[in-house]
Amino acid sequence: MDLLKGKKALIVGIANDHSIAWGIAQALKQAGAELAFSYAGESLERRVRPLAEQLGVSFVQQCDVSDDAQIATLFEKLGAEFGSFDILVHSVAYAKREDLSGRFIDSSRDGWRLAMDISAFSLVALTKAALPLLNPNANILTLSYYGAEKVVANYNVMGVAKAALEASVRYLAADLGPDGLRVNAISAGPIRTLSASGIGNFRRLHKAFTNANPMRRAITIEDVGNTALWLCSDLASGVTGEVVYVDGGFNVLGMSEESQA
């Protein structure tokens, strides 16, 4: 498969080999793309570097997406060492642990601001900073979750941030569409990752999801990677501003037999 032969992608958000961004990186690489990675902070470097080596990635740069100076440095270095590119994957989210359990009404102003900044605004900031380096027909992809549209226990402030993220996808798609750029999101079912472990009772949510979704199985980072590949390839050339579900069909359910038991 060489759907992305000759294409270059920047993947933002690998923390370890459970990360959704890692599943996406593998799928894009298998399809022939050349990759560059950026990761959040020093403590992750020892996990990210070996993964980069595994896929033959030589550009690996630290970048805290809440810091404009670090974003500017990332793209300065990327321009010099990697050159112009075709795909930007934004697979980043953060909220304080205390804001991911209990009642939504107890969210703090500070926690709200932090979650919004890192989980939603960073897509806009990265996209704007990437523009001078993006090739014609480039693709931008981010990751969302069902908690953006429906209430999911404990997801709280992150649900609000994901709603803002999904709206940002639509506004960015409208801004950049005339220049041939596409912007989309994947709304993934729950997957056991580092970030997910911060959500209150995540194991229970994961189990309930697995039992209830029409496919009766867990969603994997490979499932998400394959859909990311489709969205970032010419096979999806007419698709922009969309939120595509990779959730085994969970979002189509109203009332199942099980929930009536």
Q: Pattern of binders to ligand NAD over 76-105, x per CB under 6 A?
A: ---------------xxxx-----------
Which candidate, 124, 120, 112, places its Cα nearest to that of 145? 120
Closest CA to 20 of 123, 91, 93: 91
Site for ligand NAD contains 20 (CB under 6 A): yes
**The two three-digit tokens of residue 81, written as one number:** 């060492």
User: Per this entry, what is the length of the chain?
Assistant: 261
Which one, 7 or 162, has the nearer CB to ligand NAD? Answer: 162
User: Going residue by residue from 141 to 160, which x/- string records binding to ligand NAD, judged by CB under 6 A?
Assistant: --xxx---------------
Whose Cβ is closer to ligand NAD: residue 21's or residue 87's?
21
Buried b or exposed e, range 36-50, using 16+ CB within 10 angstroms: bbbbbeeebeebbee
Measured over all CA atoms, what is the biggest interatomic distance in the chain, rounded to whole angstroms?
A: 60
Q: Name which position in 107, 156, 184, 193 contacts ligand NAD (CB under 6 A).
A: 193
Residues 104 to 123: which contact ligand NAD by CB under 6 A?
118
User: Tokens 């999911």 correspond to what residue?
Assistant: 152
Query: Of the ranges 2-10, 25-33, 59-67, 99-107, which one interacts with ligand NAD (CB under 6 A)?
Result: 59-67
Q: What DSSP element (H or E) covers 156?
A: helix 156-176
Sign, CA dihedral 60-65-67-72, equals positive
Stretch of 50-58, 101-109, 138-146, 234-242 contacting ligand NAD, by CB under 6 A: 138-146
Of 176 and 199, nearer to ligand NAD (C-beta) is 199
Binding window for ligand NAD (CB under 6 A); candidates: 19-27, 97-105, 107-115, 174-182: 19-27
- Of the candidate spans 3-11, 14-22, 108-116, 127-135, the one that interacts with ligand NAD by CB under 6 A turns out to be 14-22
> Is residue 185 close enough to count as binding ligand NAD by CB under 6 A?
no
Question: Sign of dihedral through CA atoms 212, 213, 214, 215?
Answer: negative
65 binds ligand NAD (CB under 6 A): yes
Q: Mind telling me the catalytic residues?
A: 145, 155
Rounded to 5 degrees, φ, ψ at 90 are -110, 110
Question: In angstroms, how far is the first alpha carbon of the chain from the final one?
Answer: 46
Cβ-based nearer residue to ligand NAD, 1 or 252: 252
Q: Is 134 in the site for ligand NAD (CB under 6 A)?
A: no
Residue type, 57: V
Give ∠ CA 175-179-182 in degrees, rounded to 5.
70
Site of interaction with ligand NAD (CB under 6 A): 13-15, 19-21, 40, 44, 64-66, 91-94, 118, 143-145, 188, 190-191, 193-196
